[in-house]
Amino acid sequence: MKSVSSMKRVLVAGSTGAGKTTLARAIAGRVAIPFHEMDALAIAGPQWAENPRLFEDVSRISSGPSWIFDSYGYPQVRDLLWSRADTIVWLDYSRPVIMRRVLRRSVARTLFRRRIFGGNVETVGDWFTADHPAWWAWSQYARRRADIATRCADPRFAPLDVIRLATPQAAREWLSVTTATGDETRRIP
């Protein structure tokens, strides 16, 4: 397995609310890889308008020598990213961990009207829609987890180094050990 310093094209994958953005930013800051927030690229403006140039934008970025994305990819760019990545860091957390995180984040965003992608804010009314992050995390948890596992085992992506982290503690330990010492990355069951 390669060392963290040799990771050049990284996807941080996991369920909605796992902490992909936080971990991706931390990795990017420690190894000087340009960080790209997938939701910020995908959401182009008010009313959650989708970026019609998402594929072109992600294709341009991912053709570069180094990058880190905080997503396993929107459907229209998923295969592109997986085929160009050299490392997958999979936050494979339990559903209770995911739900605590996504609920805490969405409550704060709603109460404090924090602007996110495209200038949008989560509202109380959004909580009653099927694509609200809390509902999405709950309903898509098993499907997302199975899809990531399938992709990690897919021969098309066999050259990928997969780092599977089962708990937030494992992620913190992996990040501190691998970036502090430059030690080889390791798979965590």
Confidence (pLDDT) at 187: 42
3-state class (DSSP) for residue 78: helix
- Where residue 186 falls among pLDDT bands split at 50, 70, 90? very low
Question: Is residue 183 scored above 50 in pLDDT?
Answer: no
Q: What is the CATH number of domain 4-95+141-181?
A: 3.40.50.300
Residue 107: count other Cβ atoms within 10 Å of its Cβ.
13
**Which residue do the tokens 């704060």 mark?**
108
- Which pLDDT score is estimated for 189? 37
Rounded to two decimals, the pTM is: 0.88
Q: Which of 91-100, 110-119, 137-146 has the lowest mean pLDDT?
A: 110-119
User: Could you report the per-residue pLDDT of 19-76, keeping only the tens digit for each?
Assistant: 999 999 999 988 889 999 999 999 988 888 899 999 999 999 999 999 999 998 799 9
Given a cut of 50, is residue 185 above it in pLDDT?
Answer: no
Amino acid at 84: R
- Per DSSP, the residues of 135-180 read HHHHHHHHHHHHHHHHHHH-GGGTT-EEEEE-SHHHHHHHHHHHHH
Mean pLDDT of 149-177: 93
Q: Identify the band that residue 4 occupies on the pLDDT scale cut at 50, 70 and 90.
A: low
